[in-house]
Structure 1
């Protein structure tokens, strides 16, 4: 495994430590805020290679103090939190309880003391689906969903120094990791092709879809945000285009007369009409429709 940090795509140098801006610093709200030149990123980096960027106001999205505040306020409930134990799937087992709300028992509320004990013993605390309940992160995710034409979701991971961190994971989503507090050591890839980099607060790491990745705190407590961006597959686009064709006028017109045609005539009709249907498609609009459809069906 190599230990070369990927070069910064925005040409900046790494500072020893990024200071979080005080006061009313604007939180990152779009792709350019995270990676600099968004057009260059999408044309040269997206889907091609791992790359690191500097985003000094990243900490305005969420802080470690914010995480503990959310836990202590008493409103965290499943599925919006979990703890990593044996694998990369968060669980609320052992860190949740049932409360009486409006005279009825409601399960799944976070137990602050149990969560703190779990983190202190080396487990990772996860805030899930932040785009649904954190306004700053929700605005960023909404912007990325449109800019990248992808289904999007965001989770935050709080890792105590010395913990094992987040186990290796590989999936079909592109990933933007935003380091919010502390430092996280990332390993991307497998075997001799793996690379390692340490993200400090105010830095961003992009990992293309299909690359294995794992993370662990360096030598201090760490908080990072993982934004997953799942683009529609070729099958998603084909199924959507076909569904639209079957609901169109050409399919409606032949519905009452297709039984008078031979199989060869039906095949010839289908080739002609389907080709015309596809030729008239706005591919960008089709991709956006597929993203919205996937968003209704579930998260990335």
Structure 2
């Protein structure tokens, strides 16, 4: 099955969404969502035992299980390899009320990868996907931490999202809930087992951009003729040289390239 998803397919009028909703407040949209993943597929994936930490874990009351609680060590080609999911433990935790979380599903699930790749061009940011399968009635404090924007694709069941001072939001199957960054929210599975895919959009922060600029400047300084003689320069002359190079570097910057590098840096840190 071929799966595609663009911002327009999720929210309708993409320019209107960016003008009226992006970074402003939550919004719900009806979308023709493809069958990205099912509860049966998740349980079968866990049962096969090939996924490893941190791609799969369980979360109870908002607290992820420790690695040693849900994984085992195996011998693979005569090499000891830790981190394989402990199938029985994960399933028992789920039946006992814990959420199964599949992180960075775009790395290994082709249909979800297609959605992430379809959305990425709309944003200068890291775009990633996480799948959550939550038993009915289970509560997940800070299910949305507020660090990133999120498009929550509700595939089955219902999830009630709450934040202090805001009315609850309850997307139903086939709906997309947009949650802007900066506001933690609690999720409660209602209407049976809740299955959702959260597409997160995490923009570079100031530290990412400054790090890229600093790296660019250092490379520029190292390539200059003055760098070969900097140890002979008096401190005042050296300060003048660096100041002038900083000014020239900033004036000549390709801002699009800087943002691309900042996104790459953020992605490598996640």
TM-score between both structures, scaled by the size of structure 2: 0.87
Write the distance in 1 (CA, Å) between the matches of 2:167 and 2:240. Answer: 52
Matched, 1:76 2:42: no
Q: Displacement of 1:109 after TM fit?
A: 2.8
Deviation at 1:169, TM superposition (A): 4.8
In 1: Cα distance, 2:93 partner to 2:18 partner? 39
Q: CA deviation at 1:222?
A: 0.4
Note if contact 1:179-1:200 (Cα within 8 Å) is conserved in structure 2: yes
Could you say what secondary structure the match of 1:220 adopts?
strand
Q: Is the 8 A contact 2:9 2:32 kept in 1?
A: no
Q: How does 1:208-247 map to 2 (within 5 A)?
A: 208-247=180-219
Gaps of 5+ in 2: none
2:60 pairs with 1:85: yes
The match for 1:158 is: 133
In the alignment, which residue of structure 2 is the partner of 1:8?
Answer: none
Report the TM-score when normalising by structure 1. Answer: 0.79
Q: Distance in 2 between matches of 1:219 and 1:149?
A: 36
The answer to whether the 8 Å contact 1:27/1:57 transfers is no
Cα distance between partner residues in 2 of 1:237 and 1:80:
28
Question: Which whole-Å deviations, capped at 9, do the CAs of 1:168-215 have from their partners, x for residues lacking one?
Answer: 553421112111111111114x3x3x3311011111111111111121
1:36 paired to 2:12: yes
Kindly report which structure 2 residues correspond to 1:1-300, keeping only aligned pairs within 5 A, or say none: 24=1, 26-58=2-34, 60-188=35-163, 190=164, 192=165, 194-248=166-220, 252-258=224-230, 263-295=235-267, 297-299=268-270
How much is the aligned-residue C-alpha RMSD, in angstroms?
2.6
Unmatched segments (≥5 aa) in structure 1? 1-23
Q: Output the CA distance in 1 between the equivalents of 2:203 and 2:89.
A: 37
